Amino acid sequence: MSAGGPVARTPVAGSWTAGVRSRISGLVPSGQVLPDRQPVYVASWIYVFGVLSLASFVVVLASGVVLTLGGSLWWHTSSVGLFVNSMHLWSVELFFATMVIHLWGKFWMAAWRGKRGLTWVTGVLLFVASIGTAFTGYLSESDFTSQWIAAEGKDGINSIGVGAWFNILDASQMLLWHVALLPLVLALIVVWHIVLVRRHGVVPPLDAQPREGEGT
Amino acid sequence: MTLYADTVLSGHYLVWGVISISVTNAAIIVAMVVVFVLALVVPFPHARDDGSREPRP
């Protein structure tokens, strides 16, 4: 305990906390975490769909947490449960629709230019992981639809040799993948993707002039 | 069985050779393409013009 003297502010050499702090603060250039100024070309509706995907994802997570608290009997039988269940479904629909339009926009403006390759790759990973998360969600509805999907899909999963570890007829395994493992993976990749966007900036249109020394 | 019949016969499908898609899914894809095109051509509203935006690089 300090004896009343000032607390030392100078980072201690070899301190892991100072190292982690330095790594975190260095992830994004200063002032770019939540910027309030953007290049003029960002004033276009096509640049809106990334953040619309993010907003939909937040609603998906929030409604999913409420469904997890209530359980399947609640979301199938009570009016509030049915409403939250529908909100979860439709926010997922919006998430995929806005994400795919975001994907189209970024593909046609070659968004991997200017050292943004990893941003593009993490977006692809997000798309693939989202499909898996949605699939386990449809398997977790705990109704005839989820049973039918599991029975129809099991041969496809077995044909690629992963059925012993990812058994879509095992409802509890699919539920845990859906509410625990995959949302964590998705959230981590979302953070990674956004850090990369903030680090490299949004990609300019193809006809915009590059900065001095910046590749296209 | 009613459930079986509802599952199999519900909805309308567009079939073109090996390609089969429900009218609902086709309509959603068309709507997404329309939104995509609108996002490219509809002007973005400028809430204020105080010179706060950075110039084009």
pLDDT at position A36, please?
80
pLDDT beyond 60 at A88: yes
**Residue pLDDT, tens place only, A168-203:** 999 999 999 999 999 999 999 999 999 999 999 889
Mean pLDDT of A8-18: 75
pLDDT beyond 70 at B9: no
Partner-chain contact A46 B7, CB within 8 Å = no
**Cα four-point dihedral sign A127, A132, A137, A143:** positive
Proportion of chain A above pLDDT 90, given as a percent: 71
Polymer length of chain A? 216
**Residue pLDDT, tens place only, A37-77:** 888 888 899 999 999 999 999 999 999 999 999 999 999 99
pLDDT at position A27, please?
86
Q: How far is A96 from chain B (nearest CA, A)?
A: 10
Task: Concatenate the DSSP letters of all residues of A142-154 into one string.
Answer: -SHHHHHHHHHHH
Domain positions in chain B are: 2-41
Q: What is the rounded CA–CA span in Å between residue A142 and residue A74?
A: 12
Partner-chain contact A41 B56, CB within 8 Å = yes
Q: Which of A45, A104, A144 sits opposite B44 (nearest CB)?
A: A45
Q: What is the rounded CA–CA span in Å between residue A20 and residue A26?
A: 10
- Closest-CA residue of B relative to A43 is B44
Partner-chain contact A101 B38, CB within 8 Å = no
**Residue pLDDT, tens place only, A107-117:** 999 999 999 99
- Per DSSP (E only), the strands in B1-57 are 13-16, 19-22
Q: What is the rounded CA–CA span in Å between residue A202 and residue A37?
A: 12
Domain of A68 in residue numbering reads as 43-99
Partner-chain contact B46 A43, CB within 8 Å = yes
Which residue type is seen at B55?
P
Neighbours of B56 (CB within 10 A): 11
| Number of domains making up chain A | 1
pLDDT at position A131, please?
96
pLDDT at position A216, please?
47
Proportion of chain A above pLDDT 70, given as a percent: 91
Q: Chain B contacts of A149, Cβ < 8 Å?
A: none
- Give pTM, 2 decimals: 0.82
What crossing angle do the helices spanning A49-70 and A79-108 adopt, rounded to 10°?
150
Q: How far is A126 from chain B (nearest CA, A)?
A: 19
Partner-chain contact A40 B53, CB within 8 Å = yes
Partner-chain contact B56 A208, CB within 8 Å = yes
